[in-house]
């Protein structure tokens, strides 16, 4: 048995310039949830640079694929042996369906789960296989075990995190990726302290979430750096103390504003020039945390002697280096208490699924903040 749904399918091969017409809404068949899987009605899904990276080829994935991984919805049906959620439960998707049994999970690092990583790379669900087929009956790949640019999704039960009834799902859709990555980098990876200075490079969804996280933990000053003035304006609105248009003098200006260099820098632009500026703007003993995904071919020359002499830490952080099942409900609760205004990351109006390709083009052009798809706005679901 299967259901017909509308979903945004990416086809073809990446070229030198992004071709957004490769992403279009099709009618696809979705299987019923199998053992350990759930069927979710997707309510809201937002556009993330990781979706864009598949389209541009910076993050090569098997195609065709239904994109989308940052989303929230309501459980419609559960397969056998699912105990964590019931039909009617509001859930946030997580793109690491951690198994709880591999070496990384046992180490308390579920975002590094080897089972989830293998599934995500293959474009399959964590337990293997695909649940999507196109009109010709050909299998379609899943994006990060989720594929949320669709009316419905069948995912591993470990790909959903229940949130309290009454949670605003539009805001909740941001929690699984942008918020987890940006806030998690601040609180889990860098463990920023009260009154420590921090510079955030790249103020898209993840960078802006880092600004919110820095506000929440009492960092000061918070310096936003970006090439787009609209992004800098958003960062100031969300609580950055100073906004710097990125150029060759960025590191020097950070050093001036922080009395010799920042305690922390967060690189969320995925660009080597930003990594270099972020590193140069640190004080001795400072810490650079990288969350932006650069092109896999990019290289950054690190001076080893300086790392030692300056006692500098350079680290990566994947999905906030945290525990999504612990962190996502925390972020939802902090938002509910008015202490983490993550709703302000999103643009004030949503787009319908039919405009997903235009939305991706706007994201690529530097749209400030998250673009959210209101999936239900498209009309009645096919049953």
Q: Kindly tell me which residue out of 97, 102, 203, 282 binds Zn ion, with binding defined by CB under 5 A.
A: 102
What x/- string results for residues 106 through 145 when contact with Zn ion is judged by CB under 5 A? -------x-x------------------------------
Q: Which is nearer to Zn ion, 214 or 293 (CB)?
A: 293
Q: Which is nearer to Zn ion, 243 or 356 (CB)?
A: 356
Q: Which is nearer to Zn ion, 319 or 340 (CB)?
A: 319
Instruction: Tell me the closest approach of the beta carbon of residue 269 to Zn ion, in angstroms.
Output: 15
Count of CA atoms in the C-beta half-sphere (13 A) of 279: 21
Instruction: Tell me the closest approach of the beta carbon of residue 244 to Zn ion, in angstroms.
Output: 25
Instruction: Tell me the closest approach of the beta carbon of residue 104 to Zn ion, in angstroms.
Output: 6
DSSP bridge pairs for 66: 9, 142
Instruction: Tell me the closest approach of the beta carbon of residue 340 to Zn ion, in angstroms.
Output: 18
Total of residues contacting Zn ion (CB under 5 A): 10
Q: Concatenated DSSP letters for 273-330?
A: HHHHHHHHTEEEEEEEEE-S---TT------HHHHHHTT-EEEE-SGGGS-HHHHHHH
Euclidean distance between CA atoms 150 and 295, whole angstroms:
27
Q: Which is nearer to Zn ion, 98 or 317 (CB)?
A: 98
Q: Which is nearer to Zn ion, 22 or 117 (CB)?
A: 117
3-state secondary structure of 69: coil
What x/- string results for residues 67 through 96 when contact with Zn ion is judged by CB under 5 A? ---x--------------------------
Within 297-356, which residues bind Zn ion (CB under 5 A)?
none
Q: Kindly tell me which residue out of 71, 99, 179, 360 binds Zn ion, with binding defined by CB under 5 A.
A: 99
**Phi and psi at residue 11, to the nearest 5°:** -125, 175
Are residues 45 and 148 in contact, defined by beta-carbon separation less than 8 angstroms? yes
Q: Kindly tell me which residue out of 48, 96, 314, 360 binds Zn ion, with binding defined by CB under 5 A.
A: 48
Euclidean distance between CA atoms 353 and 66, whole angstroms:
12
Q: Kindly tell me which residue out of 30, 105, 199, 216 binds Zn ion, with binding defined by CB under 5 A.
A: 105
Q: Which is nearer to Zn ion, 128 or 285 (CB)?
A: 128
Q: Concatenated DSSP letters for 86-113?
A: -TT-EEEE-S----SSSHHHHTT-GGG-
Q: Which is nearer to Zn ion, 107 or 248 (CB)?
A: 107
Catalogue the E-assigned strands of the chain: 2-10, 23-31, 37-46, 65-66, 70-78, 90-93, 132-133, 139-142, 152-156, 160-162, 198-201, 222-226, 242-245, 262-267, 282-290, 313-316, 372-374
Q: Kindly tell me which residue out of 3, 46, 50, 53 binds Zn ion, with binding defined by CB under 5 A.
A: 50
Q: Kindly tell me which residue out of 40, 177, 345, 363 binds Zn ion, with binding defined by CB under 5 A.
A: 177
Q: Which is nearer to Zn ion, 241 or 267 (CB)?
A: 267
Residues sharing a CB contact under 8 Å with residue 333, sequence separation 6 or more, in sequence order = none
Q: Are strands 139-142 and 132-133 parallel, antiparallel or unpaired?
A: antiparallel
Residues contributing to the site for Zn ion (CB under 5 A): 48, 50, 70, 98-99, 102, 105, 113, 115, 177
């Amino acid at each position: 048995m299967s259901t017909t749904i509308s979903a945004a399918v990416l086809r073809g091969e990446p070229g030198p310039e992004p071709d957004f017409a490769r992403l279009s809404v099709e009618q696809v068949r979705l299987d019923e949830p199998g053992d350990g899987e759930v069927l979710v009605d997707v309510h809201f899904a937002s556009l993330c640079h990781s979706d864009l990276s598949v389209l541009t080829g910076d993050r090569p994935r098997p195609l065709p694929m239904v994109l989308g991984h940052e989303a929230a919805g309501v459980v419609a049906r559960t397969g056998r042996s699912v105990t964590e959620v019931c039909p009617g439960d509001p859930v946030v998707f997580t793109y690491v369906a951690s198994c709880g049994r591999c070496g990384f999970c046992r180490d308390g690092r579920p975002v590094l789960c080897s089972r989830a990583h293998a599934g995500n790379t293959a474009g399959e669900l964590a337990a293997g296989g695909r649940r999507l087929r196109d009109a010709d009956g050909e299998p379609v790949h899943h994006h990060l075990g989720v594929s949320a640019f669709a009316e419905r999704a069948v995912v591993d039960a470990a790909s959903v995190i229940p949130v309290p009834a009454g949670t605003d799902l539009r805001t909740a859709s941001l929690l699984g990726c942008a918020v987890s990555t940006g806030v998690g980098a601040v609180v889990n990876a860098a463990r920023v302290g009260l009154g420590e200075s921090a510079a955030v490079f790249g103020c898209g969804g993840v960078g802006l979430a880092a600004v919110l996280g820095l506000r929440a933990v009492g960092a000061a000053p918070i310096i936003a750096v970006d090439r787009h003035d609209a992004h800098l304006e958003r960062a100031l609105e969300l609580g950055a103390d100073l906004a710097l248009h990125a150029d060759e003098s960025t590191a020097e200006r950070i050093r001036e504003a922080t009395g010799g260099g920042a305690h922390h820098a967060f690189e969320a632009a995925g660009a080597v020039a930003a990594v270099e500026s972020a590193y140069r703007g640190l004080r001795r003993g400072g810490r650079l945390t990288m969350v932006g995904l650069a092109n896999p071919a990019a290289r950054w020359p690190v001076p080893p002697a300086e790392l030692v002499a300056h006692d500098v830490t350079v680290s990566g952080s994947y999905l906030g280096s945290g525990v999504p099942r612990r962190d996502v409900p925390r972020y939802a609760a902090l938002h509910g208490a008015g202490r983490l205004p993550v709703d302000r990351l999103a643009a004030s109006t949503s787009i319908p699924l039919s405009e997903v390709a235009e939305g991706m083009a706007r994201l690529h052009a530097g749209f400030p903040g998250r673009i959210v798809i209101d999936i239900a706005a498209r009309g009645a679901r096919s049953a």
